[in-house]
Amino acid sequence: MKRAWLGILLIGIAIDAQAVGSIADIQIIDRDTGSVLPTYRCRGEYWVAGRPGARYSILVQSHRGQRLLAVTAVDGINVISGETGAWGQSGYVLGAGESYEIAGWRKSDAEIAAFNFTAAGRSYAERTGRPANIGVIGVALFLERPMRVPMYVPLEQKSEESSRDRSDGAARALPPSPSASSSSSSPRLEGIHPQSNLANSAPAEKLGTGHGAREASYVQNTHFDRLSSTPNEVVKIRYDSFENLVAMGVVPPRPAWPPAPIPFPDSSSPKYVPDPPAG
């Protein structure tokens, strides 16, 4: 695993707080402006509007007082290994209360290729023959299994316990009863499947994530023992251009403002040397 050392209700459409998630806050950052992209909620899904050509990052801010693993996939592809995304793959380990910006496809322990919003046909997923899940960011969050601390037991107590162990060991070795296993709680997770009927309403080519310029980004390997084989939480955020989100009904259109009135329309303004003709 990798350790980062360095994150109005309107007819069924709402703009939420900028962060998504409970174990950790997940935010999408426009790196060219430094702003957090507004998160819209529509039909049970979260959306952000990306600017074509803009670099972006995924900010993960842990709320836990223990280490946390964030297995992250963009367009259905693991951002560290480049494999088609699955929960059991490598991710970023954050310390208690730490945050980290995942800003690109990891190329080595010291370098990434920056994420940037681009036409789906030029996305990394399309160029590697995996276009089915373009337009979605997924973060699977895992808690760490607590480390077991050995307890000191006096020699006399050990001998008494060993005799008891021989008599009841068989009972403890039995598998749990069906009723016990059915009552154990496992998180209910929503799969990362970006396809839906909303996509059919988009007027223009949808956005994907490109394989941008190389940047320095340093990480180190670490070990992480997951508390469970399935994530404790999965955060899914879909994205597309603002125009496409308007066309799909995810966000309301921007109001069309009339030209600003001019207080002295007939007064001549100072004259200066004009620019040459284009070309």
Q: Render pLDDT for 112-134 as a digit per residue (tens, 0 to 9).
A: 999 999 999 999 999 999 999 99
Classify residue 35: in a domain, yes or no: yes
% of the chain beyond a pLDDT of 70: 71
In a domain, 8, yes or no: yes
Residue 64 included in any domain: yes
Model pTM?
A: 0.69
How long a stretch of residues is the chain?
279
Residues 6+ away with beta carbon under 8 Å from 48: 28, 37, 38, 39, 40, 237, 238, 239
- pLDDT for 270 equals 62
Higher pLDDT, 160 or 22: 22
The pLDDT-based confidence of 228 (bands split at 50, 70, 90) is very high
Q: What confidence score (pLDDT) does residue 151 get?
A: 65
| 254 is a domain residue | no
pLDDT in tens, 48-79: 999 999 999 999 999 999 999 999 999 999 99
What integer is the mean pLDDT of 200-205?
66
**Which residues form the domain of 136?**
2-145+191-247
Segment 149-157 shows an average pLDDT of 64
Instruction: Give 251's pLDDT tier (boundaries 50, 70, 90).
Output: confident
If one compares 175 and 105, the residue with the highest pLDDT of the two is 105
- 169 lies in some domain: no
Using pLDDT thresholds of 50, 70 and 90, give the confidence band for residue 40.
very high
Q: How far apart are CA 113 and CA 107, in angstroms?
A: 7
Instruction: Calculate the alpha carbon distances from 265 to 165, 258, 268, 271 in Å.
Output: 97, 16, 8, 16
Query: Which of 49, 89, 83 minimizes the C-alpha distance to 206?
Result: 49
Please tell me the predicted confidence (pLDDT) of residue 21: 86
Residue 61 belongs to a domain: yes
Of the listed ranges 130-134, 176-180, 219-223, the least confidently predicted one is: 176-180
Q: Which of 24-33, 157-166, 265-274: highest mean pLDDT? A: 24-33
How far apart (Å, rounded) are the C-alpha atoms in residues 45 and 105?
25
Instruction: Decide if 87 is inside a domain.
Output: yes
- Comparison of pLDDT for 174 and 244, the residue scoring more: 244
Q: What is the count of structural domains for the chain?
A: 1
Average of per-residue pLDDT values in the chain: 79
- Residues 6+ positions from 262 with CB-CB distance below 8 Å: none
247, pLDDT greater than 70? yes
* Strand ranges of the sheet holding 99-102, from the earlier edge strand across to the other edge: 35-36, 24-30, 56-62, 99-102
Tell me the pairing of strands 2-4 and 92-94. parallel
* Gap between the Cα atoms of 69 and 23, Å rounded: 11
Distance CA 3, CA 111 (A): 14
Q: Would you say residue 265 lies in a domain? A: no
